[in-house]
Every structure is written in structure tokens, then in C-alpha cells.
Amino acid sequence: MAEKLMKFSEAVEKYDPVIGLEVHVELNTKTKLFCPAEVSFGGEPNTQLTPVSLGLPGSLPVVNKSAIDYAIKLGLALHCDIAEWSQFARKNYFYPDMPRDYQISQYDKPLNGEGYLDVELEDGEIFRVPIERAHVEDDAGKNTHVGGADGRIEGADHSLVDYNRAGVPLVEIVTKPITGAGARAAEVAGAYVRTIRDIVRALNISNARMEQGNMRADVNVSLRNSPDAPFGTRSETKNVNSFRGIERTIVYEIRRQAAVLEAGGEVLQETRHWDEANQTTAGGRVKTDADDYRYFPDPDLVMVHITKEHIDELKAQMPEMPRERRNRLQTEWGLSDNDMRDIINASALDLVEETVKAGASPAGARKWWMGEISRTANENDTTLEELSITPADVARVEALIAEGKLNDKLAKQTVSGVIAGEGTPDEVVAKHGYEVVQDTGALEAEVDKALAANPDIVEKLKSGNMKPMGAIIGAVMKATRGQADAKTVTGIVMSKIK
């Protein structure tokens, strides 16, 4: 049953969207939050367990110090107030992937309190996202529903449960309601979650792979009549696990809720899920604020005490944050704001940096990654990393150009060859014989032929009209199958028409 949607532009004209994001980041500590079971992705089901991960009676949790340190570093990066005393609490609910029947989370005494994160939008504007808290909790296991159409529980024959993930440490970063984004609400959310991804990677505290579930977001959206009206009722779309999914959830919910309100209806406070196949959100369970998890302090765990000295120690270990790094690299490379923004928006900063480290000029590195290679990635609907060309390959192509062995056209063909999996740049050049003709005698002969065939052009060139030079270069290129160097050819032509 398709839901009614209002056109997006009309919806944001009529209503003011408010969003709230709860981002879960799985930490890449060696062991779980409360026991020494291994944390790693993709292991045989139910092999990374201890009695604590299984919640067996009598087993006792002990907090993992590294997990707390990782979470504090994240809190520092998000400008949060780090609590001197924080506390774990039991959040009671039943779900088969959570054998204890309660999740160990934090409630009224989270580790990281209020903070903010400045995110850069596509046009360079900085938007400040206010953060409510960033608390520590353990993850649930994973259910797999077998036999249904799309892996959902509806229509499944049976379900399997894997507890390897049960007890993996998570930080849940909760924003305050984000207002003032208007039509750019989805863009703000996308930029926010990407910035968090970049920060946790820089901190090296999470693998931050959304497709592996290392990061997932609950997306809250509501509409109100105007920016000074009270907040409307929100929907909460759970566990969205791609950047595009987050952005599209927001756009969809704005359009759906606007249609509901426009028809005089009421938005339900409910949890929904993002349906990637249909690009819609679908209703789940109706939720009220009275949802009672019966939180209470976990009597098995002592309070966490963080001294000021310890925070200072961790501060001293903080690496350069993505925005500082980006500003430093821009200065070092001498690129314009626009060039730099394009690189960031294409998630190509690491690749360009590695290419420069491998010896290419910043401008050259930028040109290849943002030009030919990005175009191929777009055409194939894939990412730059997934293509078979590496920063070292790009640097090698640039070196071959600098040595005069490749011209622009041959370099492009070489890059295409590398992307097509034909091997390294040198292998591609050797395979196709892509080298620039160095033999000036051979080039001279081709120039002579081209000039002889175009006496009118010769006249123009002699009279100082250089416009038709391109036609002569073109003819020589054609004759040499693109393997001439345009500058060399120009030089030969000039010497002939004197």
C-alpha cells in the first residue's frame, strides 16, 4: 500500500522539519565491553563467546578499560563534557538476540554529556549540530530470518541467532533536536554522520563500515508549522545503515508527514524501518514516551570514575581531527576551496594524499582522482577504492607524463587500462605500445606530410595566425595513433614555417 507523499519542495515550504539522530558506533576494541571474548567481524557464528556474552546465570561483567578510553576520545572529539562519575544501567526488554533480557547501557549518568559537532555542507557552509550525550552500551547479537522473501521476519520459516556481536561495545551519540536546517535537513544529517565516520576513523576506535553494521543510525523526523511553533510528533526510523539511506529516510519522512498533516491527519509516534528495496519507510510498532524499560543502575557494575588527569592524558593522545587535517593539506597543496571541497565530497582525501606521498603533484593527483577515475566510478556505480587503480599507479602515470613518455591522451588510455584490470601503468603501456614517439625524425616526416597536405594552413601560420595549429597537431596525432607529444610537434611546425 503506497503512502501519500507531498512534493518535497512544497513540504519544506509549508513545514519546518526537525530531526534527531541516534548514531551507534561499534568500537574496535580487541575484546567485548564486559568480558574477554574477541571482537571481530565475520567469524563462525557463536564462536566469540564467554558466559558473560551469553548472560549465563552467575556470570559477572567487568568493564573494559580500553572501551571507556575509546568512548572518552570520541566524547572529546565531539566537545562533550566528560562525566567524572558515570554509571551503567539495565535497560530491560526481551529480544531473542539479547540473551540477558536486558541491555547494559547508561541512563541518567552517561559518560559523555552535552557537546556539539560542526559539519561542513556541500557549499562550504558550517552547520553546528548540538549533541545531547554519547553513552556507552553493549550490542545485541544478530538474528537471521531464513526462508522469507527479503530476510525479514515476516514470511520466514525459522530464525537463527548469532551471539558473536552480543556484548561488543557501542557508543550511542544522541543529538538534541536539530532545528534550522529546513530544506537541507537531509544534507545536514548526511554530513553529520559522515563527519562522525571520519572522526572515529581518525581516532582509530571503530572500523566505521556502515555496510558491516559498525555504524547505524536511528533517524527521528518531525514537522511543525513554523520555526517558532512547538515540535511536532516524531517518527523514528530504526537502524538505517547507509549514508544515502539516512538522507532518503529524512526526505521520505518529510514528504510523508507533510501529506498526513495536509490531509488533516496526525503523525503517529512510531518506529519505522527503511525499506531499501522500495526506497520508502514502513510503519513498525507504535511507540509512546511511556515505553518503560525499567532502567535501574546495574548492581553488578561499579560506577566509572574518570579523573581530570586521565582526561588530560587522553587529550594528549588525540590525533589530528579531520577538519584540521583537511585545512593543513589544503595549505600544503595550495588547492582552492572548491577543489578541496570536491575532493572531500568525493571521499577522495586519503587517496589524493597517498598519491601525493607516492610522488605526484597535488594538482596532478587531484586531476586524476576527480576526473577520469571518478567518472569511471560513477559510471559503474562503485567507489574510488573499489576500482583496481591505486595511488601508486596514479603517481606512476604522473611520473611517465613528467618524463615525457606519455602525453595527456596516452595517460588517459593508460589509466583506463589500469582500471580495466590490465595491470600496472608500465604493463599497460608495454601491452598497448602507448609510448610517446620520441624519434623527432619520424615526427618531422609526419609534420612535413601534414603541412604539404594543407597549404592554406601553412599560409595562415606563416602570416602569424596560429589558430589552425591544432589541425596540424591533430593530423600528426592521427598518423601516430595518438603517440606524438603535442609540444614537440608544435616546436617542429614552428621551425618549419619560419
Q: Is 198 in the site for Mg ion (CB under 5 A)?
A: no
Burial of 251 (0-12, 13-18, 19+ CB in 10 A): buried
Nearest alpha carbon to residue 441 among 472, 475, 402, 484 = 484
Q: Does 175 bind ligand ADP (CB under 6 A)?
A: yes
Residue 305: Cβ within 10 Å count: 10
Q: Which does 73 bind (CB under 5 to 8 A by kind): Mg ion, ligand ADP, none?
A: none
E strands, 101-245, in order: 102-106, 115-120, 126-138, 142-146, 158-162, 169-175, 215-224, 235-240
Q: Left (φ > 0), alpha (ψ -120 to 50) or beta: where does 357 sit?
A: alpha
Q: Whose CB is nearest to ligand ADP?
A: 20
Straight-line distance from the first to the last Cα atom of the chain, in angstroms, rounded to the nearest whole number: 78
Rounded to a whole number of angstroms, the minimum distance from the CB of residue 72 to ligand ADP is 21
Give which of ligand ADP, Mg ion, none residue 174 binds (C-beta under 5 to 8 Å, depending on kind). ligand ADP
The verdict on 296 binding ligand ADP (CB under 6 A) reads no
Q: Which does 18 bind (CB under 5 to 8 A by kind): Mg ion, ligand ADP, none?
A: ligand ADP
Phi-psi region of 124 (alpha: psi -120 to 50; beta: other; left: phi over 0): left
Pick from 280, 184, 177, 263: which is nearest to 222 by CA? 177
- Work out which of 19, 74, 131, 418 binds ligand ADP, going by CB under 6 A: 19
In the set 124, 151, 177, 180, which binds ligand ADP (CB under 6 A)? Answer: 177
Q: How many residues does the chain have?
A: 498
Site for ligand ADP in 349-408 (CB under 6 A): none
Residue 175 touches which member of ligand ADP, Mg ion, none, C-beta under 5-8 Å by kind:
ligand ADP
Does residue 131 belong to the site contacting ligand ADP (CB under 6 A)? no
Residue of 173, 213, 218, 167 whose CA lies nearest to 196: 173
Amino acid at 290: A
Examine residue 132 and tell whether it contacts Mg ion (CB under 5 A).
no
137, 218, 372, 393: residue in contact with Mg ion (rule CB under 5 A)? 218
Which CB, 175 or 483, lies closer to ligand ADP?
175
> From ligand ADP, Mg ion, none, which one binds at residue 222 (CB under 5 to 8 Å depending on kind)?
ligand ADP
Instruction: Give yes or no for residue 174 binding ligand ADP (CB under 6 A).
Output: yes
194 lines the binding site for ligand ADP (CB under 6 A):
no
List residues near Mg ion by CB under 5 A: 22, 218
List residues near ligand ADP by CB under 6 A: 18-22, 174-177, 220-222, 231, 234, 236
